[in-house]
Amino acid sequence: MNIQDYMQTVGRNAREASRAMAAASTAAKNAALLAMAAAVRAQTSAILEANAADVAEAKANGLDAALLDRLTPLRQGH
């Protein structure tokens, strides 16, 4: 699949998702958000591990310090 076809597919999927979200009840939206938050909490270690690998690769490839800062997660309390 070339980039144009891919972007058209992404756009179509986004429009469909937008329509579904507009039609969903507040309760359904809240349930979805709570489920996503729980999934993120459950996968925190894996997410941080993958992020650390991304930051290490970016450093090795000489990514600008400002961009590296954006890849680095904020510590709790900051």
pLDDT digits (tens, 9 = 90+) for 40-49: 999 999 999 9
Residues 6 or more apart whose Cβ sits within 8 Å of residue 42: none
Q: Are 50 and 71 in contact (CB under 8 A)?
A: no
pLDDT digits (tens, 9 = 90+) for 53-62: 999 999 999 9
- Does residue 11 surpass a pLDDT of 90? yes
- Helices 26-42 & 44-60 angle (0-180, nearest 10): 70
| CA dist list (Å): 34 to 37, 41, 45 | 5, 11, 19
